[in-house]
Amino acid sequence: MASDLDTTPVIATRREEATGFFQRMVSKGLGWARKNSLWQYPYVTACCGMEYMSVSSARYDIARFGAEVPRFSPRQADLLLVVGTINCKQAPILKRVYEQMSEPKWVIAFGVCASSGGFYDNYATMQGIDRVIPVDVYIPGCPPRPEQVLDGLMLLQRKIQDQQHKLIDRAQVPTLAQGGGERR
Amino acid sequence: MATDSHGMGGRDPQATPGSFGAGEPARPFEGQHHARGYEGALDAPLKGRQMVVNLGPSHPAMHGVTRAVVALEGETIVEMKLDIGFLHRGFEKSCENVTWGQCFPYTDRLNYVSSILNNVGFALVVEKLCKMEVPLRARYLRVLTGELHRICDHLTLVAAMGLELGAMTVFLYGIEARDLIWDRLTEICGARLTSNYVRVGGVSRDCPDDWPAKVEQTLARVAELRETIDKLLTRNRIFMDRTRGTGVISREDALDFGFTGPCLRASGEPYDIRKAAPYLVYDQLDFDVPVGKNGDNFDRYLMRMEEMRQSDRIVRQCLRQMEPGDIVVQDFRYVLPPKPQVYGTIEGLMAHFKLVMEGIKVPAGEAYSYTEAANGELGFYAVSDGGGRAYKLGLRAPGWPMVAALPHMTKGALLADLVPTYDSINMIGGEVEQ
Ligand code: SF4
């Protein structure tokens, strides 16, 4: 596993160096805190949900990774677990849920249906959720074994640790309305 | 009050023996009954207004895939509309584009909690078209694994019902038991959930030698967990109050709506396809069909608990009665020949090539097969034109009539009673929305 302290970018400009040390410490601290307290929103639609039940209960125990709290309100969650098939009717809802989550947020595509449409290569099924929302980790398998899911979760944790975290992020987040989508 | 078919949901003082007011007739309620209509002459209440609430499609109680538009007056459901199709994956169309053998993975994902039962249903319709006799051992293996999966299905229902009524412990016990059964299924077919075990003409592989003994041990542990769940829920006052007399459907209504399976039996109609039209080896097995009386959520829960016990019996009998033998028909028009023949003889090679490239040639015709899946009658209707693919495939999903009856069952009930009702009919998105 990559070192938890290994967050310094290889090429640093002067300006980054000037503000670097304090920011880096904050970033590391925030990364550590965030990766170990993922609150997930299980967007469960189909068969993979049965494996999700297994992952979250006693034997595989997702609580070991600090991700055991399912929140069914997108505003309280920072990890969107898309578990199962997303079809064309479901896709706008998924996008809405994703947009309602507050930053920082991450997405895991759980199972091949969410990753790529799986073997449902037909008129109804969306060929992967990355057509509507960005995805951080793809977990293959139909359904994936719980071990695979935990592996995917650990990958995400590593990714979170290596990201730059800021105390306040003033950059504006693009929303559906700005992207030319429907407005209400 | 409890006999009202529209479920009075938790307001019945007779709900639990021993609880406050039990055994007395319902007391007259001296307050104001209704937002409109009963006001005293001098009252000036705020005018009631219907509120429309959207439950779902992404809502924990909706199991992810259904949208219920509920019109409420206070907490009482005045009207409910269901919006489905959020998990429509084009099952029937997909199956028309692949060979008959390749349909099995799609059937796995219909009722994904008990996929072998779907596999069996589909295999039976193809075998009916081919007029094929399946070897005895294969039939036993189908029943055995199917019943294991039926236990899984019911465990999941009970676990989820407990969870949604606030009994998290039940969920953990249920999933532990289910994981154990899945381990056994992994040993026999390689997959935990989507088994893809049955083939046209038999099953894909025989069980390992030490498997039967392991299954018996597993069943013992599962029985232990099941009885724990039983102790936690069946006489639990909160659970009983939440489920008894809620989501009631009468026998006549259930028949009219086309209920089958445990939900129909909970209403008092003793109809089980395993008894009414035995298929595979069910006529040689000794098991009982539990029948309920009230058709409420509690009875539907009891049906599941009792059916798990019966499935347990069936599995044990199968293990005892099973004898060594073929697990697939020895007919290379339908079944891949063993590898030595493929590599050693031209006939074997030809048969292998034909089967892989073109699939099984099912004689032209149409057939309907019906089996007792975990939720009720699972029907497959297949039309073949003699080519290598299904010309048309139709599915009668067991969960569908129950979902369709939901607005009827919850009319006039409290909003909170929608959740146990939704649980106990066991809607599985994969099969209902195909
Ligand atoms: S990946 Fe497979 S198991 Fe998961 S939802 Fe899709 S079809 Fe079902």
Instruction: Tell whether A47 is in a known binding site.
Output: yes
Question: Of B175, B180, B183, which to mutate for an interface test with A (greatest number of A Cβ within 10 Å)?
Answer: B175
**What is the DSSP secondary structure assignment for residue B328, as one 8-state letter?**
B
How far apart, in whole angstroms, are the C-alpha atoms of residue B375 and residue B152? 12
Contacts of A29 (CB under 8 A, 6+ apart): none
Contacts of B324 (CB under 8 A, 6+ apart): B137
Evaluate the CA torsion angle A134, A135, A141, A142 in order and state its sign.
negative
What DSSP string describes B389-406? BEEEEEEE-THHHHHHHH
Q: Do B109 and A47 touch (CB under 8 A)?
A: yes
A chain contacts of residue B194, beta-carbon cutoff 8 Å: 47, 142-143
Q: Do A124 and B172 touch (CB under 8 A)?
A: no
Evaluate the CA torsion angle A29, A30, A34, A35 in order and state its sign.
negative
Q: Which of A43, A47, A129, A139 to mutate to test the pocket of ligand 1 (most atoms within 8 A of CB)?
A: A47
* Whether the predicted pLDDT of B194 surpasses 50: yes
Share of chain B above pLDDT 70, in %: 88
- Which residues numbered 171-230 in B keep a CB inside 8 Å of some CB on A? 171-172, 175-176, 178-179, 182, 192-194
Complex-level ipTM: 0.78
Ligand 1 center from residue B194 Cα (angstroms) = 9
Question: In CATH, what number does A37-161 get?
Answer: 3.40.50.12280
How far apart, in whole angstroms, are the C-alpha atoms of residue A151 and residue A146? 9
Q: What is the mean pLDDT of residues A46-51?
A: 86
Nearest CA in chain A to B66: A45
Residue burial B80-104, b: 16+ Cβ < 10 Å; e: rest: bebebbbbbbbbeebbeebbbbebb
Q: Do A93 and B65 touch (CB under 8 A)?
A: no
* Residue A111 near ligand 1, beta carbon < 6 Å: yes
Q: Which atom of ligand 1 is nearest to the CA of A85?
A: 5
pLDDT in tens, A151-170: 999 999 999 888 887 777 67
pLDDT in tens, B278-295: 888 888 888 888 888 888
Tokens at B160, concatenated: 């989820």
Instruction: Tell whether A48 is in a known binding site.
Output: yes
Phi first, then psi: give them for residue A79, nearest 5 degrees.
Answer: -125, 120
Would you state the pLDDT for residue B9?
A: 38
pLDDT in tens, B163-176: 888 888 899 999 99
Please state, in angstroms and as integers, the Cα–Cα distance from residue A153 to each residue in A32, A49, B149, B253, following that order: 14, 16, 29, 48
B82 part of contact set with chain A, CB < 8 Å: no
Ligand 1 center from residue A140 Cα (angstroms) = 10
Q: Which of A44, A55, A82, A85 to mutate to test the pocket of ligand 1 (most atoms within 8 A of CB)?
A: A85
Tokens at A132, concatenated: 């509507």
Of the candidates B318, B86, B115, the one whose C-alpha atom is nearest the C-alpha of residue A44 is B86
Q: Which atom of ligand 1 is nearest to the CA of A115?
A: 1
Of the candidates B171, B149, B173, the one whose C-alpha atom is nearest the C-alpha of residue B160 is B171
Architecture of domain B101-409+417-433: Orthogonal Bundle (1.10)
Side chain identity, residue B306: E
Instruction: Tell whether A142 is in a known binding site.
Output: yes
Would you state the pLDDT for residue B397?
A: 87
pLDDT in tens, B233-269: 888 888 888 888 888 888 888 888 888 888 888 888 8
Segments of B177-317 assigned E as strands: 198-199, 202-203
* Whether the predicted pLDDT of B6 surpasses 70: no
Domain ranges across chain A: 37-161
Tokens at B392, concatenated: 């048309």
pTM over 0.90: no
